[in-house]
Amino acid sequence: MEAIAKALHPDTQEKRYMPNNIISLAREYLVEVLDLPFKAKSREMTKYLKTFEGLDYQKYSQIITQKLQVNQNIYFYDEDSKAYYQSQKIIYMYDVILQLSEQPVISNVDILIVQSSNLQHAFAIANKEALKGLKFCPFCQLKGLDTKSSNYSRDYERYIVKCEQRGGNLVKTIQLDQVQKPYCPHKVQNKTYAYLLAHGKEQEFKPMQYYIIYDLETVEKIVNKSFGKSNKQISELIPLSVASTIKNKAGVRTIYYDLRNGDDFIKQ
């Protein structure tokens, strides 16, 4: 939590945060994320921290994002290419019930995850441009240009002018096919209906009455396993959550489990 606290409270000319200030903020964030039943500066908190072994990044990354209302850009270091890279971007999920004017202002933080044996350490990135050697657009914060490129100044100026006109929003363009095709996704995307239509048997198509659907979510886990001299596995996917919707004669039922229910939540 110290990395999040440092990223949300960087040093400025007006104010400089001392290590004690960052630790105090980290304690408050930890209480909020874990919903601890005591205050950050209480004796119970001090006693709790003596046996606290840290947070599992894979398990609590989305919880931290929602609780602290931040977007997290997660970076790792690749030993083979000797370069830093962005592995994940954990986005805050807005409340669809609230109006646009009532939505909270979301901050963006850059976090570097360093693997040490079986432990992971998080650090706040003060300057991601120096870390990656790229100059990012000040408006969208997504487009990065190589500062060593001979056309860097020209490309950078062109992009930021267009991005400023768009208000920092990415604009998706539509490319039409040279050969016009009818737009009928309800037919093309349904293999059963497409087959029956192709064979002149569309009258045999009947809607599905009862069903069971699953939605499985995974998250990346850094493993750094070596296989021989040149092969290396940096990460693997582990189950994060599972949701199921069942529709039968009794009605519709929704089931949801995730890592907070235990490592065997899929069997549950």
Residue, of 18 and 180, whose pLDDT is higher: 18
Q: How many CB atoms lie within 10 A of CB 122?
A: 20
The pTM assigned to this predicted structure is: 0.54
CA distance 156 to 24: 40
- Whether 170 shows a pLDDT value over 80: the answer reads no
What residues form DSSP beta bridges with 246?
212, 253
Neighbours of 131 (CB within 10 A): 16
**CATH 3.90.70 spans which residues of the chain?**
2-131
Give the mean model confidence (pLDDT) for residues 148-155: 86
113-134: per-residue pLDDT in tens?
887 777 788 888 888 878 777 8
CATH number given to 2-131: 3.90.70
The string of pLDDT tens digits covering residues 204-252 is 888 778 888 889 888 888 888 877 766 778 888 888 888 989 998 888 9
Closest CA to 73 of 84, 87, 59: 87
Q: What CA–CA distance (Å, rounded) separates 255 from 7?
A: 36
What's the pLDDT score for residue 99? 60
CA distance 160 to 157: 5
Provide the residue type at 175 as one letter. Q
